Amino acid sequence: EAQVTQNPRYLITVTGKKLTVTCSQNMNHEYMSWYRQDPGLGLRQIYYSMNVEVTDKGDVPEGYKVSRKEKRNFPLILESPSPNQTSLYFCASSRPANSPYEQYFGPGTRLTVT
């Protein structure tokens, strides 16, 4: 089954404790992206990757890091989480970003930073 998986689905952590949210897709997609969703603000892009070893900042990259060492995986790293990073996070993938291909979303990760 074609899918995007994220782990963990729910996470409660404390300020400053480094964490990683994993994202994996099994569709051999070149393009992967991370979004956060906040009430009243909608979905906003954090980082995206056009292909392996190619990543770039989205609209709200501060406080986040990513890496793309393999085509299928695109982890989101919070080196020192803060309460303003409490949010619902989505990973998504698609065929090349320069063509209008359908986006596939992961199930979401609900993160709470206290």
Tell me how far, at minimum, the Cβ of 74 lies from other proteins, in Å.
16
Q: Rule CB under 8 A: which residues touch other proteins? A: 33, 40, 42-45, 48, 56, 58, 88, 90, 92, 97-105, 107-108, 110
Which residue type occupies 48? Y
Q: What CA–CA distance (Å, rounded) separates 31 from 7?
A: 19
Tell me how far, at minimum, the Cβ of 100 lies from other proteins, in Å.
3
Tell me how far, at minimum, the Cβ of 52 lies from other proteins, in Å.
17
Q: What tokens appear for 70 in the block?
A: 């393999």
- Residue 63 or residue 108: which is nearer to other proteins going by CB? 108
Q: What CA–CA distance (Å, rounded) separates 112 from 87?
A: 7
- Residue 77 or residue 97: which is nearer to other proteins going by CB? 97
CA-CA-CA-CA torsion sign (108, 100, 3, 57): negative
CA 19 to chain centre: 13
- Residue 59 or residue 70: which is nearer to other proteins going by CB? 59
State in Å, rounded, how far the first CA of the chain is from the last one.
Answer: 36
Tell me how far, at minimum, the Cβ of 80 lies from other proteins, in Å.
26
- Residue 99 or residue 114: which is nearer to other proteins going by CB? 99
Is there a contact between 32 and 93 (Cβ–Cβ < 8 Å)? Answer: yes
